[in-house]
Structure formats: C-alpha cells, structure tokens
C-alpha cells in the first residue's frame, strides 16, 4: 500500500494486487493512509501454488490491472 501511495504521489499510476484474504486489511490500511488505491484481488491462498498456477492467477488478474491503470491515466 505504501508503495502504491508513493507511486501515486510521483504521478505514476499503480495498482495493488493481493489475495482475497486481505480485502479488509487493504481497506483498513488505505483508510489509515487517507488513500484510495486501485486494487485487484486474486484467489487465496497463493503461497503454495505452483508456477503454472501463479501464471494462471496473473493472467486472470491482468485485464483488471490494465483497466485500472487505463482509468487512472484517464483521470490523472
């Protein structure tokens, strides 16, 4: 969250990616930072996934990441 806030403060759009387990934690941290980041959440857990499973998660998340970056560029 801090990294995305830093990027945004430099005029660079960022999108946070986390597993679905961290939806509430991300919202709480964003609120404490006074920041409303673009986020994409993937299926949890991720730590025990194979490389192929991680690639599949990344491939599935990519359209949402790109859409949020494009939206940030349009409003920024």
Model pLDDT, residue 17: 95
Model pLDDT, residue 75: 77
Question: 72: pLDDT confidence band, cut at 50, 70 and 90?
Answer: confident
Q: Which two tokens stand for residue 23?
A: 């939806």
Domain segments of the chain: what residues? Answer: 2-75
How many CA atoms lie within 13 Å of 17's alpha carbon, on the beta-carbon side? 16
Note whether 30 and 7 are within 8 A (CB).
Answer: no
Q: What does the pLDDT look like over 26-71, one tens digit per residue?
A: 999 999 999 999 999 999 999 999 999 999 999 999 999 999 999 9
User: Tokens 């995305």 label which residue?
Assistant: 4
Q: Write b or e for each residue in 32-49: b if 16 or more Cβ atoms lie within 10 A of its Cβ, otherwise e.
A: eeeeebbbbbbeeeeeee
């Amino acid at each position: 969250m801090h990294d995305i806030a830093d990027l945004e403060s430099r005029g660079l759009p960022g999108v946070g990616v986390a597993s679905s387990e961290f939806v509430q934690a991300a919202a709480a941290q964003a609120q404490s930072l006074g920041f409303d980041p673009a986020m994409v959440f993937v299926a949890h857990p991720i730590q025990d996934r194979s490389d192929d499973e991680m690639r599949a998660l990344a491939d599935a998340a990519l359209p949402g990441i790109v859409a949020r970056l494009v939206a940030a560029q349009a409003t920024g």
